[in-house]
Structure formats: structure tokens, C-alpha cells
Structure 1
Amino acid sequence: MARKRREEPGDNHERWLVSYADFITLLFAFFVVMYALSTVNEGKYRVLSESLVHAFRNVPVNTASTMTQVAPPPLPVVPKNATATAATRAQEAAKQKQREKMRGMAKDIMEVMAPLIEQGKVRVIETSRGVTIEINDSVLFSPGQSVLQPPLVKAMRAVADVIATTDFPVTIEGHTDNVPIKTSQFPSNWELSAVRATTVLRLFSDAGVSAERLTAIGYADTRPVETNATIEGRARNRRVNILIDSAAPEKGKELDLDASEKR
């Protein structure tokens, strides 16, 4: 009798679906992870970062290990205004030295002009700018004139000798009262005050004071120190001031027209 042939199970043509399903699952998981990484919560990330920094800064030393944590030495704390304070102190020291030098020079001038100071014809005044020597014009010039009177030439040369030993800028100011003058030489008080200041300047220059330090200005009657309503006041206003400046004039900076328009 013939034996029946056992039927072999047929080939499964659907097995590829298993691999495909696994691939789709992995691909989905991959995109989920990528999406999660791309949507980091900034607040939680900052908290995590600060926590990690704090934790690593306070890691205790492991006594069982050969490695130890060595903390770096603290950096020296330098006040922000330390440099400015040192510069300010240096400037103050330099100013104090200038003031002492100025007062020493003023003392020498007062000794030279002592007789006229006692008569009230000369005043030595200390100001914020320096020292001012105020000389009544009656001892320097005849009324309406700009030629120095001979008795005062020697005294003024002595003052110039003291000033010549320093390097302070010197400004010579001519002042008048409000009584008008009109002559062929001086049409107004402006010319009279300016020429008187220039006369003293020339004497100082001839006596050895550097010309670069000298300036002459005529103010006429625009800078009175007393009222012009009295004889005494007008006599006080007719004067020559010798201003010895404690500081050299600053160098100017030219302004840029284009830059000023942009502002």
C-alpha cells in the first residue's frame, strides 16, 4: 500500500512585516527622543546647571583617595577707586607744593614793597588763582600818563627779580576810574589802561622775566573794586594789578565742526 506523503508547511511570505514593524518602532522612538532633546525647558535647564555648578564646587575631599582637591588662593580685592585716589593725592600734593612756593614768593615781594604796603599804596592778595599785587596808580604814574615815575622803577625791578626766579605765568592788568579821558595819545580809558599795563610788562621783560610768561590787559573802568561815586573809591580803582597765576594755562583742543553737528 502506498504511504501518504506528509504535507510540508508552505513558505510564510509575510515574515518581512515583523522586521518592518521593528524598524518603524525604532524609527518612531528615535524621533521621539530627538523631539524631546529639541524642546528643553530653559528654566529647568538653568536650575539643573546651577545645581551642578554648586554641587561640583562643594565636592568633599575623599580621604580614601590619593587625589585631593586644592582650592585656588583668593584673588586680591583692589578697590575700583584705588588708582583714582592715588592720582588725586598726587595732584593735591603737587598743588600744595605750588601754594607753598607761591606764598614764599609773595613773602619776598612783600618785603620788597614793605614801605608802600605800610602806606596803603600796595596790597598783596592771595586768591584761588594765585597771588595778586595791587598797586595804586598814583605811585606808578602821573595823572593821565603812562610813564613810570622814577622812584618806583627800582622797586618794580626788585619785584621783577623775585618773579624771574619762578616759572608762574604773570598777567598785568591796567584799571582806571570812570572819569573819561580824551587826549591825542589816549582817546579813552581803554588805551590808557592798556598802555600802562604794557609799560609794566616791558619793565618786567627787561628785568629778565621770560616774555612767554607775560600778558598785558587793559580793563579801563570795567572792573572797579570800589564805588566811583567818591574820591577815595576812584583813587582805589585807578590801579595796576600783577596777577601771578599758580597754574600754567591749559592747551586748547580744536573742535571738529562735523562732530559737533552730529551731536
Structure 2
Amino acid sequence: MNRRRERRREPEEPENHERWLISYADFITLLFAFFVVMYALSSINEGKYKMLSNSLINAFGSAPAGAVPRGDGQPKEAPGPLPAHRPRTGEISRQEREKMNNVARDILQVLAPLVKQGKVKITQTVRGVSVDINASVLFAPGDATLSGESSQALKAVAAVLKADDHAIQVEGHTDSTPIRNASFPSNWELSSVRASSVVRLMEENGIAQPRLTAVGYGPTRPVSTNDTAEGRLSNRRVSITIMSNIPGNGAEVPVDLVEWK
């Protein structure tokens, strides 16, 4: 009986030792597909990336607020507001010219009586606004002490320039007649001290010290001949220049009282 059962038993199939090859092949296939996708992402253009990004967003939810896709696949913050408009060079020059025009107009108004008398001349160039004041208005001959009348005029100019921010250069000039006394060995000292006297008055009346410069030129920059009394009178002067922020040089433009009426 037992022998009959043993005869009916079917023979067992031999064990398959190469089954792991199937799993290995599947793994290699997935790995190959992964590298194909990575290569495709590395060379994807913007249009394809947007399509892929939209598909992923639809599948997994919306992207974080304020984030936009970046070329490397990572979100980045949305760009902030555009920077404020920066004026061009032409605009800056135009604005600076307008400022200097206003300065010239205001100074002309406070010095109008002296301008009418021919004792003050106001000119405007690219360098700035220059106020030439005859030395006889400011000082006694051979002296560097400001007179009371001239101090009032200079205080009015300081009041105009106090709220301004331009640099101010004060230049002292003399004629070619030699001077030699206990106070001033030469015209160099006289012109320098006269310029310093004007600078000191402006500082005392509200002009910030870093804006001020005093220069003495002596007789080296005449505006007229020194051969006549009238010419020498013109050369004895103090020039107050409100320095423009526009670089370059330009021709002088006289500032006329008629322009500001």
C-alpha cells in the first residue's frame, strides 16, 4: 500500500537558483529610467520645465506662497519691488542748474542795491555762482576789518546760503600796488586775511564750517588793467563762489537784475 503511494508521488521540481536575476533586472531598469529623467531635467528648457512644474503642482498641491520656480528646480522668493527711479545724468545736471539759478536769483535780490551801483557783480558758470564784491564796499584801504555796512550785506548773503548745501569758496584779490606795513608784509597776506574775514563772518551766521574755504590770490588774477585807477579799483575785490556740483567749465553768464523782475 505504501509502495503504491510512493509510486504515485510526482517528482519535485528542481529549485531555481537564478530567480534573483529578475529582481536585479528590474532594479537596473529603474536605475536607468532614473538617470534618463535626471539627464532630461539637466537640459530641460524653460517651457518644458513649466509644464513639468505645473503637473507636479497639480499632483501634489500648490507651491509655497511667494515662491517662483528657479532654473535649478528649487523655489526662490518672488522678486521684490523695483528700485526707485534713479535720475539720469542729464536730469541731475538740469536739477543742479535749477538750484544754481535759484541761488543766483536769491543773492541778487538781497544785493540788488549794490548791483545797481556797480559795486557787486554776479555771474554764473558751470563752476558755480560767483559774487564779486568790490573791496571798497567791505574794507578800508590796506585793512582787512569788515565795515558795519558790509557786514549787513554779507549777513544777508549768509542767510540765503545757510539752508543750501553747496561748498563756498571765498577768494581775496588785490591790485598790483605793493603794500608793506606791520600787519601785511605783502598783498598775499592782505588778500588771505580779507578772505578769512568773510569766511569767519559767514560761519558766525550759520554757514557750516566744512562748506567754507578761504583763498588769497594777491594780485595774480586781475580782471582789469593795473595801469589805471579805475582798473586797480576793479581788481581789489572779494569773490564768493558757490560751487556747482556739475563738473566741467563753462563761459561766464552775467546775472542781470532784469531777469528776476
Q: TM above 0.5, one fold? A: yes
How big is the shift at 1:229? 0.5
Taking the aligned partners of 1:170 and 1:181, their CA distance within structure 2 comes to 28
Taking the aligned partners of 1:248 and 1:188, their CA distance within structure 2 comes to 35
Q: Show the counterpart of 1:216.
A: 214
Given the alignment, which residue of 171, 184, 200 partners 2:182? 184
User: CA offsets, 1:167-225, max 9 Å, x none?
Assistant: 00000000000000001110000000000000000000001101000000000000001
Alignment of 1:20-169 (within 5 A): 90-169=88-167
How big is the shift at 1:95? 1.2
How big is the shift at 1:103? 0.7
How big is the shift at 1:156? 0.5
How many residues are paired up?
163
SS at match of 1:212: helix
The root-mean-square deviation of aligned C-alpha atoms, in Å, is 1.6
How big is the shift at 1:92? 1.3
Taking the aligned partners of 1:166 and 1:91, their CA distance within structure 2 comes to 21
How big is the shift at 1:248? 8.5
Q: Show the counterpart of 1:7.
A: none
| Partners of 2:132 and 2:238 within 8 A in 1 | yes
Give unmatched runs, 5+ long, in structure 1: 1-85, 250-263
How big is the shift at 1:165? 1.1
Length-normalised TM-score, structure 1? 0.60
Taking the aligned partners of 1:248 and 1:158, their CA distance within structure 2 comes to 26
Are 2:238 and 1:240 aligned?
yes
Larger Rg: 1
User: CA offsets, 1:69-114, max 9 Å, x none?
Assistant: xxxxxxxxxxxxxxxxx99x70111111011011111101101000
How big is the shift at 1:238? 0.2
Q: Show the counterpart of 1:39.
A: none
| Partners of 1:169 and 1:248 within 8 A in 2 | no
Q: Show the counterpart of 1:54.
A: none
Taking the aligned partners of 1:173 and 1:114, their CA distance within structure 2 comes to 21
SS at match of 2:241: strand
Q: Show the counterpart of 1:16.
A: none
Identity, in percent, stands at 49
Taking the aligned partners of 2:168 and 2:93, their CA distance within structure 1 comes to 18
Length-normalised TM-score, structure 2? 0.61
